[in-house]
Amino acid sequence: MERGLYIAASGMLTEQRRQDQIANDLANAATAGYKPDRSTQRSFGELLLANSKTGQQIGSLGLGVQIDETVTDWTPQPARQTDEPLDFAINGEGFFAVRTGEGTFYTRNGQFTLSPQGILTTARGDIVLGPNGQPIQAGPNGKVDPKDIGVYNVQNPRKVGDNLVQGNAAGQAAGQVQQGFLEGSGADPARSMVNMIASFRSFEAGQKVIRTLDETLALAAGKVGSLQ
Protein backbone atom coordinates (compact mmCIF):
# COMPACT_ATOMS: atom_id res chain seq x y z
CA MET A 1 0.00 0.00 0.00
CA GLU A 2 2.80 2.43 0.88
CA ARG A 3 4.54 1.59 -2.38
CA GLY A 4 1.45 2.85 -4.21
CA LEU A 5 1.76 6.21 -2.45
CA TYR A 6 5.38 6.57 -3.55
CA ILE A 7 4.58 5.59 -7.15
CA ALA A 8 1.76 8.14 -7.37
CA ALA A 9 3.92 10.82 -5.75
CA SER A 10 6.77 10.21 -8.22
CA GLY A 11 4.35 10.71 -11.10
CA MET A 12 3.07 13.97 -9.61
CA LEU A 13 6.62 15.30 -9.11
CA THR A 14 7.47 14.38 -12.71
CA GLU A 15 4.42 16.22 -14.04
CA GLN A 16 5.22 19.22 -11.85
CA ARG A 17 8.65 19.50 -13.48
CA ARG A 18 7.07 19.10 -16.90
CA GLN A 19 4.58 21.88 -16.14
CA ASP A 20 7.42 24.21 -15.13
CA GLN A 21 9.13 23.54 -18.46
CA ILE A 22 5.91 24.05 -20.45
CA ALA A 23 5.13 27.26 -18.54
CA ASN A 24 8.60 28.58 -19.43
CA ASP A 25 7.96 27.84 -23.10
CA LEU A 26 4.63 29.66 -22.94
CA ALA A 27 6.24 32.67 -21.25
CA ASN A 28 8.75 32.89 -24.12
CA ALA A 29 6.34 32.35 -27.01
CA ALA A 30 7.14 35.89 -28.23
CA THR A 31 10.85 35.92 -27.34
CA ALA A 32 13.06 36.24 -30.42
CA GLY A 33 15.29 33.22 -31.03
CA TYR A 34 13.91 31.25 -28.07
CA LYS A 35 14.46 27.48 -28.24
CA PRO A 36 11.88 25.27 -26.50
CA ASP A 37 12.60 22.24 -24.34
CA ARG A 38 11.14 18.74 -24.53
CA SER A 39 11.17 16.44 -21.48
CA THR A 40 11.14 12.64 -21.57
CA GLN A 41 10.51 10.35 -18.65
CA ARG A 42 11.55 6.84 -17.66
CA SER A 43 10.58 4.25 -15.09
CA PHE A 44 12.64 3.58 -11.97
CA GLY A 45 12.31 -0.11 -12.78
CA GLU A 46 9.85 -2.91 -12.19
CA LEU A 47 9.23 -5.35 -9.37
CA LEU A 48 8.21 -8.91 -10.28
CA LEU A 49 5.29 -10.03 -8.10
CA ALA A 50 4.77 -13.67 -7.16
CA ASN A 51 2.47 -15.66 -4.90
CA SER A 52 4.24 -15.99 -1.55
CA LYS A 53 2.87 -19.51 -1.00
CA THR A 54 3.09 -21.14 -4.42
CA GLY A 55 5.79 -18.99 -6.01
CA GLN A 56 3.62 -18.52 -9.10
CA GLN A 57 4.42 -15.31 -10.95
CA ILE A 58 1.60 -12.76 -10.89
CA GLY A 59 3.05 -9.93 -12.94
CA SER A 60 5.21 -6.83 -12.66
CA LEU A 61 4.72 -3.61 -10.72
CA GLY A 62 6.29 -0.32 -11.78
CA LEU A 63 8.28 1.54 -9.13
CA GLY A 64 7.53 5.05 -10.29
CA VAL A 65 8.77 7.49 -12.93
CA GLN A 66 11.15 10.41 -13.22
CA ILE A 67 12.32 12.92 -15.84
CA ASP A 68 14.93 11.13 -17.93
CA GLU A 69 16.29 14.15 -19.80
CA THR A 70 15.28 17.55 -21.10
CA VAL A 71 16.26 18.15 -24.72
CA THR A 72 16.35 21.54 -26.43
CA ASP A 73 14.97 21.86 -29.95
CA TRP A 74 17.63 23.87 -31.81
CA THR A 75 15.74 23.97 -35.13
CA PRO A 76 16.08 27.43 -36.75
CA GLN A 77 12.76 29.27 -36.95
CA PRO A 78 11.46 31.56 -39.70
CA ALA A 79 12.46 35.21 -39.37
CA ARG A 80 9.96 38.05 -39.30
CA GLN A 81 10.70 41.44 -40.79
CA THR A 82 10.87 44.35 -38.36
CA ASP A 83 12.78 46.94 -40.46
CA GLU A 84 14.61 47.96 -37.27
CA PRO A 85 18.28 48.67 -38.14
CA LEU A 86 19.57 46.99 -34.96
CA ASP A 87 17.47 43.83 -35.30
CA PHE A 88 19.36 40.87 -36.78
CA ALA A 89 18.47 37.26 -37.55
CA ILE A 90 20.66 34.34 -38.58
CA ASN A 91 19.48 32.64 -41.76
CA GLY A 92 20.69 29.08 -41.19
CA GLU A 93 22.86 27.53 -38.51
CA GLY A 94 25.01 29.36 -35.96
CA PHE A 95 24.87 31.69 -32.98
CA PHE A 96 25.70 35.29 -32.14
CA ALA A 97 28.46 35.56 -29.53
CA VAL A 98 28.05 37.92 -26.57
CA ARG A 99 30.51 38.85 -23.84
CA THR A 100 29.07 38.95 -20.34
CA GLY A 101 30.54 39.46 -16.88
CA GLU A 102 30.65 35.64 -16.55
CA GLY A 103 32.38 34.99 -19.89
CA THR A 104 31.34 34.46 -23.50
CA PHE A 105 27.91 33.03 -24.24
CA TYR A 106 25.89 32.53 -27.41
CA THR A 107 22.36 33.40 -28.50
CA ARG A 108 19.96 33.40 -31.45
CA ASN A 109 18.21 36.53 -30.18
CA GLY A 110 19.39 39.37 -32.41
CA GLN A 111 17.36 42.18 -30.82
CA PHE A 112 20.34 44.46 -30.19
CA THR A 113 20.91 48.06 -29.18
CA LEU A 114 23.83 50.50 -28.87
CA SER A 115 25.72 51.50 -25.76
CA PRO A 116 26.44 55.21 -25.11
CA GLN A 117 29.85 54.56 -26.71
CA GLY A 118 28.25 53.20 -29.89
CA ILE A 119 29.08 49.56 -29.15
CA LEU A 120 26.57 46.92 -30.27
CA THR A 121 25.05 45.19 -27.22
CA THR A 122 22.13 43.04 -26.21
CA ALA A 123 19.13 44.51 -24.39
CA ARG A 124 20.74 43.67 -21.04
CA GLY A 125 24.05 45.28 -21.99
CA ASP A 126 26.14 42.27 -23.05
CA ILE A 127 28.65 43.13 -25.79
CA VAL A 128 28.01 41.50 -29.18
CA LEU A 129 31.19 40.13 -30.79
CA GLY A 130 32.38 40.23 -34.36
CA PRO A 131 34.04 37.41 -36.35
CA ASN A 132 37.38 38.23 -34.70
CA GLY A 133 35.93 38.13 -31.19
CA GLN A 134 36.09 41.92 -30.75
CA PRO A 135 33.28 44.40 -29.92
CA ILE A 136 31.41 45.92 -32.85
CA GLN A 137 31.49 49.69 -33.27
CA ALA A 138 28.54 51.30 -35.04
CA GLY A 139 29.17 53.73 -37.87
CA PRO A 140 28.62 57.50 -37.67
CA ASN A 141 25.02 56.98 -38.76
CA GLY A 142 24.37 54.63 -35.83
CA LYS A 143 24.06 51.61 -38.09
CA VAL A 144 25.95 48.30 -38.08
CA ASP A 145 27.00 46.34 -41.15
CA PRO A 146 25.66 42.75 -40.84
CA LYS A 147 29.03 41.50 -42.11
CA ASP A 148 30.64 42.86 -38.94
CA ILE A 149 28.63 40.48 -36.73
CA GLY A 150 30.13 37.08 -36.00
CA VAL A 151 28.15 33.87 -36.51
CA TYR A 152 29.69 30.97 -34.62
CA ASN A 153 29.39 27.21 -34.67
CA VAL A 154 28.82 25.94 -31.13
CA GLN A 155 29.45 22.33 -30.14
CA ASN A 156 27.39 20.73 -27.37
CA PRO A 157 25.17 23.80 -26.82
CA ARG A 158 23.44 24.02 -23.44
CA LYS A 159 20.82 26.58 -22.49
CA VAL A 160 21.58 29.00 -19.65
CA GLY A 161 18.41 30.83 -18.67
CA ASP A 162 15.99 31.60 -21.48
CA ASN A 163 18.14 32.83 -24.35
CA LEU A 164 21.82 32.36 -23.56
CA VAL A 165 23.77 29.27 -24.55
CA GLN A 166 26.98 27.73 -23.30
CA GLY A 167 29.18 25.55 -25.47
CA ASN A 168 32.47 25.20 -27.29
CA ALA A 169 33.00 27.58 -30.20
CA ALA A 170 34.10 25.76 -33.34
CA GLY A 171 34.84 28.49 -35.85
CA GLN A 172 32.51 30.49 -38.04
CA ALA A 173 29.12 29.05 -39.04
CA ALA A 174 27.61 29.11 -42.50
CA GLY A 175 24.53 31.09 -41.43
CA GLN A 176 24.03 34.55 -42.90
CA VAL A 177 23.03 37.63 -40.89
CA GLN A 178 19.88 39.45 -42.03
CA GLN A 179 19.39 43.05 -40.94
CA GLY A 180 15.91 44.26 -40.03
CA PHE A 181 14.71 40.76 -39.11
CA LEU A 182 14.26 38.74 -35.91
CA GLU A 183 14.07 34.98 -35.64
CA GLY A 184 10.73 33.82 -34.24
CA SER A 185 10.33 31.84 -31.04
CA GLY A 186 10.39 28.06 -31.35
CA ALA A 187 7.65 27.75 -28.72
CA ASP A 188 4.21 26.90 -30.12
CA PRO A 189 1.56 28.31 -27.73
CA ALA A 190 -1.20 25.98 -28.97
CA ARG A 191 0.95 22.88 -28.58
CA SER A 192 2.20 24.04 -25.19
CA MET A 193 -1.36 24.59 -23.94
CA VAL A 194 -2.39 21.09 -25.05
CA ASN A 195 0.66 19.61 -23.32
CA MET A 196 -0.06 21.65 -20.18
CA ILE A 197 -3.66 20.36 -20.01
CA ALA A 198 -2.50 16.75 -20.51
CA SER A 199 0.15 17.14 -17.81
CA PHE A 200 -2.36 18.67 -15.41
CA ARG A 201 -4.77 15.76 -15.97
CA SER A 202 -1.97 13.31 -15.17
CA PHE A 203 -1.16 15.29 -12.02
CA GLU A 204 -4.83 15.17 -10.98
CA ALA A 205 -4.88 11.40 -11.53
CA GLY A 206 -1.96 11.03 -9.12
CA GLN A 207 -3.82 13.14 -6.56
CA LYS A 208 -6.88 10.88 -6.83
CA VAL A 209 -4.76 7.75 -6.38
CA ILE A 210 -3.14 9.15 -3.23
CA ARG A 211 -6.53 10.26 -1.87
CA THR A 212 -8.00 6.79 -2.49
CA LEU A 213 -5.05 5.01 -0.87
CA ASP A 214 -5.18 7.38 2.09
CA GLU A 215 -8.88 6.67 2.63
CA THR A 216 -8.25 2.93 2.33
CA LEU A 217 -5.44 3.06 4.88
CA ALA A 218 -7.60 5.10 7.27
CA LEU A 219 -10.45 2.62 6.89
CA ALA A 220 -8.12 -0.32 7.48
CA ALA A 221 -6.63 1.31 10.57
CA GLY A 222 -10.11 2.00 11.93
CA LYS A 223 -11.29 -1.54 11.36
CA VAL A 224 -8.20 -3.08 12.94
CA GLY A 225 -8.50 -0.75 15.94
CA SER A 226 -12.12 -1.74 16.47
CA LEU A 227 -11.40 -5.47 16.73
CA GLN A 228 -11.74 -6.89 20.25
Over the stretch 72-95, which tens digit does the pLDDT of each residue have?
999 999 999 999 999 999 999 999
Domains in the chain, number: 2
Residue 24, domain extent: 2-74+187-226
Are 179 and 122 in the same domain? yes
Say yes or no: 175 and 216 in one domain: no
pLDDT at 58: 61
| 61 and 92 both lie in a single domain | no
Does pLDDT of 168 surpass 80?
A: yes
Q: How confident is the model at residue 67 (pLDDT cuts 50, 70, 90)?
A: low
Question: Residues 64, 96: one domain?
Answer: no
Mean pLDDT, the chain, rounded, equals 85
pTM of the model: 0.74
Kindly state whether residues 106 and 129 are assigned to the same domain.
Answer: yes
Convert the pLDDT of each residue in 129-162 to its tens digit.
999 999 999 998 889 999 999 999 999 999 987 7
d(CA 94, CA 169): 10
Same domain membership, residue 54 and residue 22: yes
Q: Kindly report the number of other CB atoms within 10 A of residue 33's CB atom.
A: 25
pLDDT at 122 over 70: yes
Q: In this predicted model, which residue has the larger pLDDT, 218 or 134?
A: 134
d(CA 201, CA 187) in angstroms, rounded, equals: 21
Same-domain pairing of 91 and 132 = yes
Do 127 and 162 belong to one domain? Answer: yes
Residues 133 and 201 in one domain: no
In whole angstroms, what is the distance from residue 109 CA to residue 101 CA?
18
119 shares a domain with 26: no
Same domain, 93 and 37: no
Do 175 and 124 fall within a single domain? yes
